[in-house]
Structure 1
Amino acid sequence: MTSRDLTGFLPLDEAHAAQSDWPRRLSDIAWRIGFGAIGWPWLLASLSGGRPADKRALLDELGLPHDALPHLGSWKADVGFLRHIVREIARLRPAHVVELGAGASSLIAARALQLHGGGRLHSFDQHGSFVEATRQWLGDHAIDADIRHAPLTHESADWPGRWYALDGVPERIDLIIIDGPPWSVHPLVRGAADSLFARLSPNGVVLLDDAARPGERIVARRWRERWPHIDFRLMRDGTKGTLVGRRRDLTAPVANDNEDGRTWRHMRRAAAVAALLGIGWIARGELGEFPQSAQASSFLDEAAASRRTGLLRQGMASQIESATFDAQEIQRSTGIILPALPGDWRVTDVQLFPTTDSPAIAMTIVTPEQETLSLFADKAETPAEATPLVARRAGDVVAYWEVGTMAYALTGEGDTRRILHLAGTIAPMGRTPH
């Protein structure tokens, strides 16, 4: 919804909402009660739109006045999500951007398109009054976009909750921005946005707002299963989290769910929520990203590639290794926090290593026992926490762990126990007996 005016904590009712059958009603109510009980920390986080200084910097970058976004937070996108939109538009220079849920993101996306390639924004929102207000708001800044009223009158065969009645969606989409419908329709309702994924162009991108919320994390998990040719990664650089999906394999088949019996499916979902509440799973102190080995695959592959690159550089006389580095400068420039290394470890090379989302840091290290190790540091989501997990890549052993938003991988040859022990000298909870 538009951000020119303040909005309340609770979303507006949709006057034209479809009347659901009673099994769907029971299912939706059960999900809302369950997720409302555990989701209040994320809902409170939604009230923050980000730091005023960050908002001013974003508006300066786009050449917009500082009062162009007078109110952020509540149900609006935060600065972190808006910056992801600008970054992807500048990189992709898309011809067609589809947005679900109009508002602050409409202004920012349409302005970024003016500056980077002149593509077209196609925005859809369930509130007719907000559609008109947003059109006028953009017009006040000499910005044009195709913003349409799309009432929540449709039902997805694959996802619960009411969905947009979309009209005029382009056949080929370069960027999909998902900031609606609100969770009060159903905590998993935004999953139905994957009905547009088959239209993604090569290297197309999906951006999901509020991705740290429990409902969106379940959506992300299912998307990973249904769309294996799209790499999804949770980015925690905003107040509410952004899920970034990048299409990579054009030959993979699109997802298809031919399950029948929609009524019983909704009843099973309601029963599932009740069961989860009963066993306490849904009331965990902190919801993780439902770890799966597939989530770490991209990070581990990049760590392995950085090791191969480092070893290759060592054998090339024309490639000069650089063992000098400034950890504080690296953090200021890339956001990468390097861990403290044992004093008797010798760093022989430090390089920026390009990844899909942002630069990572790759280091080559030699231990007193003359073991050559590779340390890879990036902002990434993995199943690991402070205690290292282990994997294998092309004969190498990879021990990996997380600290805050950072993920680290220590790669080397030899015994798994030895690599875990070496990783334990760096990881905060990774010490193992030698």
Structure 2
Amino acid sequence: MTSRELTGLLSLAESDASLPFSRKVSDWAWRLAFGAIGWPWLLKSLHGGSKADKRALMTALGLAPDALPHLGSWKADTGFLRHIVMQIALLQPGIVVELGAGASTLVAAKALALHGGGQLISFDQHAGFVDATREWLDDNGLSVDIRHAPLEANVEGWPGRWYSVDRLPDRIDLIIIDGPPWSVHPMVRGAADSLFRRLSPGGVVLLDDAARPGERLVARRWRKRWPDIDFSLLHDGTKGTLVGVKRVAGVPPAPANDNGGAFRHAARAAGIAALIALGWIGRGALGEFPDPAQASTTFIDEAAASHRTGLLRQAMVSQVESTHLDSVEIARSTGIRLPKLPEGWRVRDVQLYPTNSSPAVALSLTTPQGEAVTLLAGRAETPADAKPLVTKRASENIAYWENGDQALALTGTMPAERALELAAMLARNT
């Protein structure tokens, strides 16, 4: 089985037969406690991203549209995969280390092939999955140093079992963390910081599932332990991504582990369970529970995806922007009538963009105030009419309207009121 196949909600089964009884009790207490409040995050993880986002990602990488037909559950979502591609395009890393193989392995390997040809070293705890993934990558013409790394190691200062990694390079430019699963321990991925000393200046750490309670606590500790790495939590996917960028070479040593035996493990688990029961973590420290995932494939999602794709193209050396806008040719070839751009607006890229129904036209634009926006025009049905309405997708505000049989949407990260103001300028010229 590979990440291309349809899989269940839970990750592949783990074995804890080698753990002492006290550790088993402690780890199970943590799992039960975090499982009690973590179900909204687990439910949201079922949605791997919109079809529009996935199609845009596959197009940018030159992969077949069905290369990753099933995302979600324990696999990476399109938001996290997009961050991998963007960081590889920007960094052009020489060495990438991945913890937890799968969909991210295919995407990272393909992105590296397009941007500098760096080496990808991937670790996963399931030997059969490693072998199947290696064959899957070979079928796609990609070569990856993918290794079986059973969960047998203990990292000082962190709970759970960690990958038995070996033969690591001295310097790593990008660390991708998508394992082990939370069912080992809600904070098990914190042990990934055992690799942070190897991170090169300007190097990047990407942590998947960063909106979950366990990963948020991990991020808090990382910020204290690694002051030379700037961490930020991004919510532009279904699960959240933590991005860390190393500012300077050299980091202080991590604090010593607080070893306290079985009683302390149990006490920690009981304490965290009590805090959860009081709602301190779930609502106070971590914020409100997320809304259930929306599996929408509307024109609005296409607009958001086209904006993200445009930004990605501009960050990629291999992708050449087309700044020439010929509205007459576009109307003749596609039947799409573009509005006249207001004075001072600059065209950064013009692209045909595939949608569910028919090709659309995506214009990457810059306003006189320096705002980066994307105008998507195509044939679609929306709740709007000639007067723009506004909605939100992740960090983008999208103002949309209709003109006859075609729909238009303006996407950017400006406030909603500003998005409506800019859209009104275009609507008057439609």
TM-score grouping bracket, smaller chain normalisation: 0.5 to 0.7
Q: In structure 2, the residue corresponding to 1:87 is in which secondary structure?
A: helix
Alignment RMSD (CA, Å): 3.1
**Residue 14 of structure 2 aligns with which residue?**
14
Tell me if the contact between 1:3 and 1:70 (Cα under 8 Å) persists in the aligned partners. Answer: no
Q: 2:265 & 2:190 partners in 1: Cα distance?
A: 15
Q: CA 1:284–1:97 in 2, change beyond 3 Å: closer, same or farther?
A: same
1:60 aligns to 2:59 (yes or no): yes
Structure 1 stretches (4+) deviating beyond 6 angstroms?
Answer: 405-408
**Residue 236 of structure 1 aligns with which residue?**
235
**Residue 187 of structure 1 aligns with which residue?**
186
Q: How does 1:72-151 map to 2 (within 5 A)?
A: 72-151=71-150
Select the structure with the greater relative contact order (CA < 8 A; seq sep ≥ 6). 2
Q: CA 1:224–1:161 in 2, change beyond 3 Å: closer, same or farther?
A: same
Q: How does 1:26-425 map to 2 (within 5 A)?
A: 26-284=25-283, 287-288=286-287, 350-351=369-370
Q: Which amino acid in the other structure matches residue 5 of structure 1?
A: E
Q: 2:76 & 2:194 partners in 1: Cα distance?
A: 22
Deviation at 1:277, TM superposition (A): 3.4
Is 133-142 or 249-258 further displaced after alignment?
249-258
Q: 2:69 & 2:240 partners in 1: Cα distance?
A: 22
Q: CA 1:51–1:406 in 2, change beyond 3 Å: closer, same or farther?
A: same
Q: In structure 2, the residue corresponding to 1:147 is in which secondary structure?
A: strand
Q: 1:218 & 1:258 partners in 2: Cα distance?
A: 16
Q: Which amino acid in the other structure matches residue 33 of structure 2?
A: G
Tell me if the contact between 2:125 and 2:149 (Cα under 8 Å) persists in the aligned partners. Answer: yes
Q: CA 1:157–1:140 in 2, change beyond 3 Å: closer, same or farther?
A: same
Q: 1:406 & 1:213 partners in 2: Cα distance?
A: 24
Tell me if the contact between 2:371 and 2:414 (Cα under 8 Å) persists in the aligned partners. Answer: no
Tell me if the contact between 1:124 and 1:148 (Cα under 8 Å) persists in the aligned partners. Answer: yes
Q: In structure 2, the residue corresponding to 1:284 is in which secondary structure?
A: helix
Q: 1:223 & 1:194 partners in 2: Cα distance?
A: 8
1:63-122 Cα shifts (integer Å, max 9, x gaps): 111111121111100111001000000111111100010000000000111111111100
1:14-39 Cα shifts (integer Å, max 9, x gaps): 35x45222222222111111111111
Q: 1:171 & 1:91 partners in 2: Cα distance?
A: 22
Q: 1:274 & 1:210 partners in 2: Cα distance?
A: 21
Tell me if the contact between 2:207 and 2:242 (Cα under 8 Å) persists in the aligned partners. Answer: yes
Q: 1:325 & 1:36 partners in 2: Cα distance?
A: 53
Tell me if the contact between 2:197 and 2:251 (Cα under 8 Å) persists in the aligned partners. Answer: no
Q: 1:282 & 1:46 partners in 2: Cα distance?
A: 19
1:265-314 Cα shifts (integer Å, max 9, x gaps): 4233213223313433244388339xxxxxxxxxxxxxxxxxxxxxxxxx
Deviation at 1:6, TM superposition (A): 1.1
Deviation at 1:233, TM superposition (A): 0.3
Q: CA 1:58–1:277 in 2, change beyond 3 Å: closer, same or farther?
A: closer
Q: 2:231 & 2:364 partners in 1: Cα distance?
A: 24
Q: 1:77 & 1:170 partners in 2: Cα distance?
A: 25
Q: Which amino acid in the other structure matches residue 26 of structure 1?
A: V
What's the TM-score, normalizing by structure 1? 0.66
Q: CA 1:229–1:283 in 2, change beyond 3 Å: closer, same or farther?
A: closer
Q: 1:265 & 1:202 partners in 2: Cα distance?
A: 37
Q: 1:149 & 1:78 partners in 2: Cα distance?
A: 23
Tell me if the contact between 1:97 and 1:175 (Cα under 8 Å) persists in the aligned partners. Answer: yes
Q: 2:257 & 2:48 partners in 1: Cα distance?
A: 40
Q: 1:286 & 1:46 partners in 2: Cα distance?
A: 21
Q: CA 1:260–1:14 in 2, change beyond 3 Å: closer, same or farther?
A: closer
Q: 1:278 & 1:135 partners in 2: Cα distance?
A: 44
**Residue 372 of structure 1 aligns with which residue?**
none
Q: 1:128 & 1:212 partners in 2: Cα distance?
A: 29
Q: CA 1:198–1:279 in 2, change beyond 3 Å: closer, same or farther?
A: same
Q: CA 1:252–1:4 in 2, change beyond 3 Å: closer, same or farther?
A: closer
Deviation at 1:13, TM superposition (A): 1.5
**Residue 3 of structure 2 aligns with which residue?**
3
Tell me if the contact between 1:208 and 1:244 (Cα under 8 Å) persists in the aligned partners. Answer: yes
Q: 2:213 & 2:145 partners in 1: Cα distance?
A: 32
Q: Which amino acid in the other structure matches residue 98 of structure 1?
A: V
**Residue 315 of structure 2 aligns with which residue?**
none
Q: 1:128 & 1:51 partners in 2: Cα distance?
A: 31
Q: In structure 1, the residue corresponding to 2:179 is in which secondary structure?
A: coil
Deviation at 1:335, TM superposition (A): 12
Q: In structure 2, the residue corresponding to 1:39 is in which secondary structure?
A: helix
Q: 1:241 & 1:178 partners in 2: Cα distance?
A: 13
Question: Percent same amino acid among aligned pairs?
Answer: 64
Deviation at 1:10, TM superposition (A): 1.6
Tell me if the contact between 2:99 and 2:178 (Cα under 8 Å) persists in the aligned partners. Answer: yes
Q: In structure 2, the residue corresponding to 1:131 is in which secondary structure?
A: helix
Deviation at 1:218, TM superposition (A): 0.7
Tell me if the contact between 1:26 and 1:270 (Cα under 8 Å) persists in the aligned partners. Answer: no
Unaligned 5+ segments in structure 1 are 290-323, 337-348, 354-378, 381-404, 409-434
Q: 1:197 & 1:264 partners in 2: Cα distance?
A: 30
What's the TM-score, normalizing by structure 2? 0.66
Q: Which amino acid in the other structure matches residue 88 of structure 1?
A: Q
Tell me if the contact between 2:37 and 2:276 (Cα under 8 Å) persists in the aligned partners. Answer: no
Tell me if the contact between 1:96 and 1:175 (Cα under 8 Å) persists in the aligned partners. Answer: yes
Q: Which amino acid in the other structure matches residue 80 of structure 1?
A: G
